């Protein structure tokens, strides 16, 4: 089976029994160096300046020191770098970030003023990052005046173009946006990209060109590690806050999807190996980790 065979075709051919069963999908086998095992680290919601105290900056330093020693050389920060738009906190954040010794890529959350984010962290906000065979598509979908997510027509066009490039280069993609696209109702908080704000168009785009999209990665919820896998093969994952998380009793109340029973401040070690994405949610200062394994086919 050629490398260019799409995941959907691959899965269909498996279902039809037309090819012998490999242990994991051909596109993730180690035949090309570019499809080797891959790892990265995810942090989110550091909220520097929270409560006008040094607590968040102190917690960020502890987190950064652990990440420095953790495996993996790419770190994603999924938004709310500072709390309440406090611009003076970006230099504090950056000073600590220097110690990590790994590349850190941020997206803004609803607490980050876009202009301040661009001034201190990166311009433009919407950016593609290549990490071996994986392309992270970083999108700013949060607004200061809302908890919901928003994708403009321009952003969706950019995304369509990026997915085309992903396909032409034989890569796979993960979309990084602070606010989830997935519907969520009570007992969840209900914050997501509403149909009229880009959700419907994103769904259409993913149906049309999402065969190489492995996951959508988000922050925003402060609910530990939470996610859904009902979008066929595309995982939607909400990552824990590095400052505070809350147990909203989602598992007990049978909310759709999953929510690990770990809520201490932490970060997540992500590793792709043999067609599986393993997420290890590591509370800072604690030796154990909570684990979630996502099958990528
Ligand atoms: Zn937040």
pLDDT tens for 224-266 read 999 999 987 899 999 999 999 999 999 999 999 999 999 999 9
Q: Please tell me the distance between residue 51's alpha carbon and the centre of ligand 1 in angstroms.
A: 13
Q: Is residue 23 part of a domain?
A: no
Percent pLDDT > 90 in the chain is: 84
State how far the Cα of 284 lies from the Cα of 224, in Å rounded to an integer.
13
Residues 276-295 as b or e (16 or more Cβ within 10 Å = b): ebebbbbbbeeeebbebebe
Q: Please tell me the distance between residue 19's alpha carbon and the centre of ligand 1 in angstroms.
A: 46
Task: Point out the least confidently predicted range of 23-27, 121-125, 129-133, 178-182.
Answer: 23-27
State how far the Cα of 92 lies from the Cα of 95, in Å rounded to an integer.
5
Q: Please tell me the distance between residue 45's alpha carbon and the centre of ligand 1 in angstroms.
A: 4
pTM for the whole structure: 0.89
Q: Please tell me the distance between residue 251's alpha carbon and the centre of ligand 1 in angstroms.
A: 21
Q: Please tell me the distance between residue 167's alpha carbon and the centre of ligand 1 in angstroms.
A: 33
Is the confidence at residue 150, as pLDDT, over 90? yes
Q: What is the pLDDT of residue 95?
A: 98
Q: Please tell me the distance between residue 7's alpha carbon and the centre of ligand 1 in angstroms.
A: 34
State how far the Cα of 36 lies from the Cα of 265, in Å rounded to an integer.
31
Q: What is the pLDDT of residue 35?
A: 63
Phi, psi of 62 (to 5 degrees): -65, -40
Percent pLDDT > 70 in the chain is: 88
Q: What is the mean pLDDT of residues 97-123?
A: 97
Q: Please tell me the distance between residue 78's alpha carbon and the centre of ligand 1 in angstroms.
A: 9
Q: Please tell me the distance between residue 130's alpha carbon and the centre of ligand 1 in angstroms.
A: 26
Q: What is the mean pLDDT of residues 144-165?
A: 98
CATH number where 56 lies: 3.60.21.10
Q: Please tell me the distance between residue 206's alpha carbon and the centre of ligand 1 in angstroms.
A: 26
Task: Return the SS3 of 170.
Answer: coil
Residue 122 DSSP code: -
Round the average pLDDT of the chain to a whole number and report it. 90
Residue 1 pLDDT grade (very low, low, confident, very high; cuts 50, 70, 90)? very low
Q: Please tell me the distance between residue 209's alpha carbon and the centre of ligand 1 in angstroms.
A: 30
Q: Is residue 2 part of a domain?
A: no
Domains of the chain: total: 1
Q: Is residue 112 part of a domain?
A: yes
Residue 141 DSSP code: -
- Other C-beta atoms closer than 10 Å to the C-beta of 199 total 20
Is the confidence at residue 11, as pLDDT, over 70? no
Q: What is the pLDDT of residue 23?
A: 39
Q: Please tell me the distance between residue 164's alpha carbon and the centre of ligand 1 in angstroms.
A: 31
In the structure encoding, which two tokens stand for residue 265, read together?
A: 């401040």
State how far the Cα of 275 lies from the Cα of 138, in Å rounded to an integer.
23
Q: Please tell me the distance between residue 34's alpha carbon and the centre of ligand 1 in angstroms.
A: 34
Positive or negative, the Cα torsion across 138, 32, 211, 234? Answer: negative
Q: Please tell me the distance between residue 177's alpha carbon and the centre of ligand 1 in angstroms.
A: 12
Q: Is residue 26 part of a domain?
A: no
- Other C-beta atoms closer than 10 Å to the C-beta of 246 total 12
In the structure encoding, which two tokens stand for residue 170, read together?
A: 């034989």
Q: Is residue 15 part of a domain?
A: no
Is the confidence at residue 69, as pLDDT, over 90? yes
Q: Is residue 19 part of a domain?
A: no
Pairing of strands 103-106, 74-77: parallel
Q: Is residue 13 part of a domain?
A: no
Does residue 204 or residue 16 have the better pLDDT? 204
Is the confidence at residue 94, as pLDDT, over 80? yes
Q: Please tell me the distance between residue 80's alpha carbon and the centre of ligand 1 in angstroms.
A: 5
Beta bridge partners, 174, equal: 136, 215
Q: What is the pLDDT of residue 18?
A: 35
Q: Please tell me the distance between residue 79's alpha carbon and the centre of ligand 1 in angstroms.
A: 7
In the structure encoding, which two tokens stand for residue 269, read together?
A: 């070690």
Cα separation values, 74 from 40, 43, 101, 161, 213, Å: 5, 11, 10, 24, 19
Interval 24-45: pLDDT, tens: 444 544 433 346 899 999 999 9
Range of the domain at 211: 33-295
Q: What is the pLDDT of residue 171?
A: 94
Residues 110-146 as b or e (16 or more Cβ within 10 Å = b): bbbbeebbeebbbeebbbbbebbbbbbbbbbbbbeee
Q: What is the pLDDT of residue 33?
A: 36
Q: What is the pLDDT of residue 274?
A: 86
Q: Please tell me the distance between residue 109's alpha carbon and the centre of ligand 1 in angstroms.
A: 7
Q: How buried is 251 (Cβ within 10 angstroms: 0-12 exposed, 13-18 middle, 19+ buried)?
A: middle
What 122-130 contacts at long range (C-beta under 8 Å, 24+ apart), as own/partner pairs, is 126/155, 126/158, 128/162, 128/165, 129/74, 129/105, 130/171
In the structure encoding, which two tokens stand for residue 36, read together?
A: 């080797």
Q: Is residue 115 part of a domain?
A: yes
Q: Please tell me the distance between residue 107's alpha carbon and the centre of ligand 1 in angstroms.
A: 12
Q: Please tell me the distance between residue 50's alpha carbon and the centre of ligand 1 in angstroms.
A: 10
Task: Point out the least confidently predicted range of 57-66, 228-237, 281-290.
Answer: 228-237
Q: Please tell me the distance between residue 281's alpha carbon and the centre of ligand 1 in angstroms.
A: 17
Q: Where are the alpha helices (DSSP H) in 40-152?
A: 55-69, 89-97, 114-120
């Amino acid at each position: 089976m050629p490398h260019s065979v799409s995941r959907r075709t691959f899965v269909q051919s498996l279902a039809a029994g037309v090819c012998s069963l490999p242990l994991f999908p051909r596109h993730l086998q180690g035949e090309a160096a570019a499809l080797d095992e891959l790892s990265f680290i995810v942090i989110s919601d550091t909220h520097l300046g929270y409560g006008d105290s040094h607590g968040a900056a102190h917690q960020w330093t502890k987190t950064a020191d652990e990440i420095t020693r953790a495996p993996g050389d790419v770190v994603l920060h999924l938004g709310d770098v500072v709390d309440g738009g406090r611009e003076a906190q970006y230099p504090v954040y950056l000073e600590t970030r220097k110690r990590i010794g790994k590349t850190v890529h941020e997206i803004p959350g609803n607490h980050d003023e876009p202009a301040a984010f661009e001034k201190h962290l990166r311009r433009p906000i919407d950016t593609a990052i290549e990490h071996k065979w994986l392309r992270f598509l970083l999108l700013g979908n949060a607004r200061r005046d809302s908890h919901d997510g928003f994708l403009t027509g321009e952003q969706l066009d950019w995304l369509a173009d990026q997915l085309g490039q992903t396909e032409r280069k034989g890569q796979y993609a993960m979309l990084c946006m602070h606010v989830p696209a997935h519907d969520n109702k009570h007992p969840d908080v209900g914050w997501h990209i509403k149909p009229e704000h880009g959700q419907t168009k994103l769904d259409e785009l993913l149906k049309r060109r999402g065969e190489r999209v492995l996951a959508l990665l988000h922050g925003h919820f402060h609910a530990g590690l939470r996610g859904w896998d009902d979008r066929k093969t595309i995982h939607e994952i909400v990552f824990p806050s590095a400052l505070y998380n809350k147990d909203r009793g989602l598992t007990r109340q049978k909310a759709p999807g999953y929510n690990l029973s770990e809520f201490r401040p932490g970060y997540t070690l992500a590793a792709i190996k043999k067609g599986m994405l393993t997420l290890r949610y590591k509370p800072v200062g604690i030796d154990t980790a909570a684990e979630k394994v996502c099958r990528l086919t």
